[in-house]
Amino acid sequence: MVEVRNLGKTYPEGKVVALTDISFSVAKGEFISIIGPSGCGKSTLIKIIGDIIESSAGSVTIDGLAARQARLNGKFSFVFQNPVLLPWRTVLENVTLPLEIIRDGARDPRELLNMFGLAGFEDRYPAQLSGGMKQRVALARALTFNPQVLFMDEPFGAVDELNRAVLNLDLARIWQQIGVTVFFVTHSISEAVFLSDRVFVLSARPARLKDIVPISFPRPREKALQETEPFQAIVKALREKLG
């Protein structure tokens, strides 16, 4: 579904090479995590696939469409490390923001808020929510229309560990219900292993796709999986790959 061919990114100012010769293909509904050293270009990669920034080389197609056309058709959705909620809008108004632009509602915003455990918070303002709840609102907002690809850029990076574990479980559950293709950038190897079908390992700058590691634990995955030996073995192997 997502085809990436020989993708490269060079910043003209200072001629910094961020990404070089990255190719892969991803099937519909796959959950892909991207890990790599800090500053290697993980965010740049997903922003290029999602057509927020332009590539310098190579091509991205989504169901045969160029990335730009796919974006214009409302096929992409982003969640960033900051929830980026608009403080003058209530929770519900934040969640319906994309519908005002894309006008292609696929899910009832209230139901989505329910799924993310935010029932009863519709009329609150972002300032009244905790960090974890804000990120849940951002997730709900990302799914109100019917995006085909969900890009998440360290979405739980600023959330404390307990909340993070709960958010991961919720994300896995909702992803299974919805069947959206996910690109998930993270610094946490165990988070990547727990959530993903495949983990993409990027090298240090200029980033190449160093390795693709399939994760075949059955779903739905329970929290206890993280304590098992096979899980720990994969985490350890990935840590070694990152160097």
Partner 1 sequence: MNSLSDNRHESAHSDAKQATPRCVASWRSLRPVIVPVVALVLILCAWQAAHRLFHLNSIVFPAPTEIAAAFVKNFASIMAETGVTLLESILGFLLGGITAYLFAVAFVHSRLVQEALYPYAVALKSTPLIAIAPLLVLWFGNGLLSKIVMSSLVAFFPVLVNSITGLAAVDGEALDLMKSYSATRWQILTKIRFPNSLGYLFPALKIASSMAVVGAVIGEFTGSTRGIGHLINTSSYYLDTPLVFAAIASISLGGILFFGLVAWLEKKIVFWQKA
- Chain residues that interact with partner 1, rule: CB under 8 A: 47, 50, 52, 71-72, 74, 76-78, 80, 82, 84, 86-88, 97-98, 100-102, 125-127, 151
CB of 138 to partner 1, least distance (A): 9
Task: Find residue 4's DSSP bridge partners.
Answer: 24, 60
Contact (CB, 8 A) for 170 and 193: no
- Find out whether 66 and 60 touch, Cβ atoms under 8 Å: yes
Given the DSSP bridges, would you call strands 181-185 and 198-202 parallel, antiparallel or unpaired? unpaired
Neighbouring CB atoms inside 10 A of 129's CB total 18
Q: Which is nearer to partner 1, 40 or 85 (CB)?
A: 85
Q: In angstroms, what is the minimal distance from the CB of 87 to partner 1?
A: 4
Of the two residues 71 and 110, which places its CB atom closer to partner 1 in the complex? 71
Nearer to partner 1, 76 or 184 (CB): 76
* Smallest separation, CB 237 to partner 1 (Å): 33
Q: Least Å distance between CB 16 and partner 1?
A: 18
At closest approach, how far in Å is the CB of 91 from partner 1?
Answer: 13
DSSP H/E element including 186: none
What whole-number distance in Å separates Cα of residue 26 and Cα of residue 101?
28
Tokens of 152: 């998440």
User: Closest CB to partner 1 among 88 and 243?
Assistant: 88
Nearer to partner 1, 78 or 184 (CB): 78
Tell me how far apart the alpha carbons of residues 238 and 215 are, in angstroms, rounded to a whole number: 11
